[in-house]
Amino acid sequence: MITVKEETLGVNKWTYKAKSYFDLLKFRLSATVAFSAGFGYSLAVDKVIWTNLAMMLLASLTITGAANIINQLIEKDLDKLMKRTESRPLPSGRLSPQEAVWFALVLFGAGLIIFALFFNLRSCALSVLSLILYGFVYTPLKRVGPIAVFVGALPGAFPPMIGWVAATNQFGWEPGILFAIQFFWQFPHFWAIAWVLDEDYKKAGFKLLPSKGGKDLKTTIQIVIYTICLLPLGWVPYQLGIVGITSAVVATICGVLFLTQTFILLRKGTDKTALQLMFGSFLYLPVVQIAFLLDKI
């Protein structure tokens, strides 16, 4: 006979396990990537088919989740060295590497099936390429040098392109410019994060800031340069006829505000200003993407 206490322990065990798998997924990051893919899909179609949009979000979420798990499997021993990551499911022992591998395979397989059945092979191939670049190229390069950020920016910029290609089965200027905006945005975004977490990253041997001097003038100058590139790029969707002028103005205003934050970092060079830039980068991309969507509607 099962007692109430034993039954409660069983329920708690399954809840604990489920939460561990959820944490392994890195849901907030995966959901952000899925949103970008859904944004690209919605921008490409004349009328959104909600079931297809839901499938796009789900496929992107699963493929991204699988890529995140690969990243954590490779870095499980390094994650133990950093305060920010020591409590993750693998370094903390909440899940075994074998459990993580099987979960990644299930997610990856589900994502591929959805892309193949609901969309097309081009978007499916882009998703596979994105996972390979992120999981097996970018991840080990993090200990080599700042080239990792460039490589990581490629799969990081794929989601809106994947969404567009999934909707149209075509490449072109339109998905290319969506890729470019997200590609250049990632440099100030990621370097701001790397600046704030520099001490923690050093414990794991990660070399991500663009300058050998780390948090110095050379790093901030490069952050400024990449952010400047976002200003003209924000106008191109309007020039291509994807959206109206309203969202182009919004993108320009957001770009100027974002650039202002980089100049403040250039002038002060403090962790506080880097943190402000990091939060500014979190706002820039979704605000611009939502503006594009609303303008099209």
Distance of CA 218 to the CA centre of its chain: 25
> What stretch of H or E contains 201?
helix 198-203
Phi, psi of 238 (to 5 degrees): -70, -45
The pLDDT score that the predictor gives to residue 186 is: 96
Residue 7 has a pLDDT of 43
Which pLDDT does position 214 carry in this prediction? 85
Q: Is the dihedral of CA 194, 36, 239, 177 positive or negative?
A: positive
CA–CA gap between residue 211 and residue 202 (Å, rounded): 14
- In the predicted model, residues of the chain with pLDDT beneath 50 are 1-9
pLDDT at residue 135, as a whole number: 95
**Per-residue pLDDT, 63:** 97
d(CA 151, CA 119): 26
Report pLDDT for 10. Answer: 53
| Assigned token pair, 155 | 């799969």
Per DSSP, the three-state class of 95 is coil
Question: In whole angstroms, what separates CA 54 from the centre of its chain?
Answer: 19
List C-alpha distances in Å: 204 to 73, 138, 144, 176: 15, 15, 12, 35
Per-residue model confidence (pLDDT) at position 11: 52
Which of 265, 147, 278 has the alpha carbon at shortest distance from 215? 265
With a CB cutoff of 8 Å and minimum separation 6, the contacts of 193 are 278
Residue 161 to residue 258: CA distance in whole angstroms: 23
Structure tokens belonging to residue 75: 């870095």
Q: What is the pLDDT of residue 15?
A: 87
3-state class (DSSP) for residue 123: helix
